[in-house]
Structure 1
Amino acid sequence: LIFLKVVSDYGTGEKVTPEKVTDLIGSNIEKITSWLEQIHRNCLINQVSFSDEEEECIRKVIVNLQCSVSMEHQLRQILRYYKLAHGSFCERLNQYMNNPDMPCKTKTEGKKYFEKLKSKLI
């Protein structure tokens, strides 16, 4: 999340109107968009990608736990952080998936195991 604070007065007590804020943003839109584009470029450069082996491990978890799309997004985000902090996560995921209860038989069961996995990774 990015928050942009617009300083519309300098403590003069002047009343701030929506029109004044719109004018301030409009007159500085090039600076604002340039700043946002710079942040976007930095995010793309620093984005963590997964190897083919890691993608295969992720796919195995998604299938075995019957993950929803939302759960898959959560898992990928957690694994990005894990990879940045600890390196590869495949061995850890494979150990977790070598549970005799895998694959899960129901989505409810999958959610239960998903929560346990999240707590182990975070």
Structure 2
Amino acid sequence: MAGEPQADCLFCKIVTGEVPATIVRETDTTVAFRDINPQAPTHVLVIPKVHFRDAAELAAGDPQAMADVLREAGEVAAQEKLDEHGGYRIVFNTGAGAGQTVWHTHAHVLGGRGFNWPPG
């Protein structure tokens, strides 16, 4: 059920502390941690503590939690001083074809290098 922790979800296990992660920020509703396979000098994932499959499901099912994820992505960027290094990206991969591999909503905060446009 959406919103409820899933026993087989890696990110739900990070939320509960069952799986270790390098946590850089935590609020009542979110956890931010370093990606284990970084794609930029700074690559932090921001997740809601509630379980929703992807960004669209989270936005529809718990708009406040989605707002919390986006706010925390900005806080992570500020904490990591990404504005001082040319800016940053906030990316949601939604669906396997877009690169989503963990089925728990997560925002990638990427910075510390230049990015080309268009992405992908």
Of Structure 1 and Structure 2, the greater helix share is in: 1
TM-score grouping bracket, smaller chain normalisation: under 0.3
Larger Rg computed on CA atoms: 1
Taking structure 2 as the reference length, the TM-score comes to 0.24
Of Structure 1 and Structure 2, which has the larger fraction of its residues in strand? 2
